[in-house]
């Protein structure tokens, strides 16, 4: 009896999720026709693998320094004069992108900084979605009421805050930490989601299936989060990707200004270090790679967001 009941429950779940699975497959099929989107996924997947398995991408650890070898001897005066060292491939050491002034491998720093960029990007994007999407749903469902007007006043206030100066002030007040940077970015990046989701909800709440749910006695919360939210989720992924790219660029800007967590390695900190130590025009192998990494991961998120926007656009179907 219990086994039969389990099979019946499993069949019910399959039937309930079958339309959503088919819809997801159709969206993925359309997404793969966009070369930019596929390229963005490949770039992002590469950085994710770097963050998860850094040892598979570089032979050195973060503690490695040029010339130290296995005996852990200090640099000689002559050796220190060669740092930062240009790319070397085995003699006197292996550093395909050269080293910084401390003798650390630039390639190793690039690889181990990927998790910081992904953490900041996904955390800030997710937090902004957790704020912007519910507020947008509430605004749209109660459109042209005092609820909609109250949230609009809140949006107007935050729109008046300049993005980068606000982050600088917040970090300066609360302290320089990765968590504060993420919070500052999330606070200022949920506005567009709220506005766009409101417009989409205004359209969706007029659909027949929403009217049917109301007639059946469904509460407002159930109508919003059970019937409307699943239809705006694809649109939220677009903004999540865009907010993630914005967060990564903002963190790099703050790091360059010296307002980032110095205990955490990141591509922005690498650029700040080369600027503070005066090697911008002498060590191109130290300057260019972190800049390219920032541009690549930001472009990956933008490519994915651009392609998702086209996939979820009703006019494109």
The pLDDT tens digits for 193-217 are 888 888 888 888 888 877 787 787 7
Mean pLDDT of 164-188: 80
Q: What is the pLDDT of residue 14?
A: 66
- Which DSSP string corresponds to 205-256? TTSHHHHHHHHTT--HHHIIIIIIHHHHHHHHHHHHHHHHHHHHHHHHHHHH
Q: Is the pLDDT of residue 24 over 80?
A: no
**What does the alpha-carbon distance between residue 276 and residue 83 come to, in Å, rounded to a whole number?**
15
Q: Per the domain annotation, does 260 fall within a domain? A: yes
pLDDT of 171 higher than 80: no
Residues 6+ apart with CB under 8 A from 202: 140, 143
Residue 282 has pLDDT above 90, yes or no: no
The CA distance from 200 to 39, in Å, is: 29
- Residue 316 pLDDT: 45
At residue 45, the pLDDT reads 94
Strand pairing of 94-95 and 88-89? antiparallel
Give the pLDDT of residue 187: 83
As a whole number, mean pLDDT of residues 166-179 equals: 79
pLDDT above 90 (res 180): no
**Residue 12 reports pLDDT greater than 80:** no
Inform me whether the pLDDT recorded for 1 exceeds 50: no
Does residue 93 form part of some domain? yes
Separation between Cα atoms, residue 172 and residue 257, nearest integer Å: 12
At 13 the pLDDT is 62
Contacts of 91 (CB under 8 A, 6+ apart): none
Instruction: Find the CATH number of the domain harbouring 296.
Output: 1.10.3720.10
pLDDT at 4 (0 to 100): 54
Containing 94, the helix (H) or strand (E) segment is strand 94-95
Please check whether residue 22 lies inside any domain of the structure.
no
Q: How confident is the model at residue 5 (pLDDT cuts 50, 70, 90)?
A: low
Does 46 have pLDDT greater than 80? yes
Domain limits for position 146: 38-63+81-316
**For a pLDDT cut of 90, what percent of the chain falls above it?**
14
pLDDT tens sequence across 69-125: 544 455 666 777 777 888 888 777 888 998 988 888 999 999 999 999 999 999 988
Residue 96 within a domain: yes
Q: How many domains does the chain have?
A: 1
Three-class SS state of 90:
coil
Per the domain annotation, does 70 fall within a domain? no
Average pLDDT over the chain, rounded to whole?
82
What mean pLDDT comes out for the span 154-172? 81
pLDDT category at 16 given cuts 50, 70, 90 is low
Assigned domain for 18 exists = no
In a domain, 14, yes or no: no
Question: Looking at the domain assignment, is residue 241 inside a domain?
Answer: yes
Question: Using an 8 Å Cβ cutoff, are 105 and 62 in contact?
Answer: no
- Both tokens of 230, joined, read 């699943």
Q: What is the pLDDT of residues 232-258, one digit of tens each?
A: 887 888 888 888 888 888 888 888 887
């Amino acid at each position: 009896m219990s086994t039969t009941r389990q099979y019946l429950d499993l069949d019910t779940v399959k039937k309930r999720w079958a339309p959503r699975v088919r819809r997801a497959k159709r969206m993925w099929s359309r997404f793969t026709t966009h070369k930019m989107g596929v390229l963005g996924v490949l770039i992002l997947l590469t950085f994710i693998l770097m963050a998860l398995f850094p040892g598979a991408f570089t032979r050195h650890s973060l503690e490695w320094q040029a010339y130290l070898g296995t005996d852990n001897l200090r640099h000689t005066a002559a050796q220190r004069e060669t740092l930062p060292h240009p790319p070397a491939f085995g003699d006197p050491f292996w550093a395909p992108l050269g080293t910084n002034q401390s003798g650390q491998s630039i390639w190793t720093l690039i690889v181990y900084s990927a998790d910081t960029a992904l953490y900041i990007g996904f955390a800030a994007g997710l937090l902004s979605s957790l704020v912007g999407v519910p507020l947008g749903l509430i605004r749209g469902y109660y459109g042209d009421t005092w609820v909609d007007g109250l949230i609009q006043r809140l949006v107007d206030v935050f729109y008046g805050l300049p993005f980068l100066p606000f982050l600088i002030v917040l970090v300066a007040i609360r302290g320089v930490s990765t968590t504060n940077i993420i919070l500052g970015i999330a606070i200022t990046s949920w506005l567009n989601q709220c506005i766009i989701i409101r417009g989409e909800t205004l359209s969706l709440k007029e659909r027949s299936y929403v009217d049917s749910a109301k007639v059946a006695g469904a509460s407002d919360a159930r109508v919003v989060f059970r019937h409307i939210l699943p239809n705006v989720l694809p649109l939220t992924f677009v903004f999540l990707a865009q907010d993630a790219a914005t967060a990564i660029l903002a963190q790099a800007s703050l790091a360059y200004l010296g307002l980032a967590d110095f205990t955490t390695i990141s591509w922005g900190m690498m650029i700040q270090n080369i600027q503070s130590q005066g090697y911008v025009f002498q060590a191109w192998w130290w300057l260019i790679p972190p800049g390219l990494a920032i541009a690549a991961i930001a472009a990956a998120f933008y490519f994915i967001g651009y392609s998702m926007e086209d996939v979820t656009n009703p006019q494109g179907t």
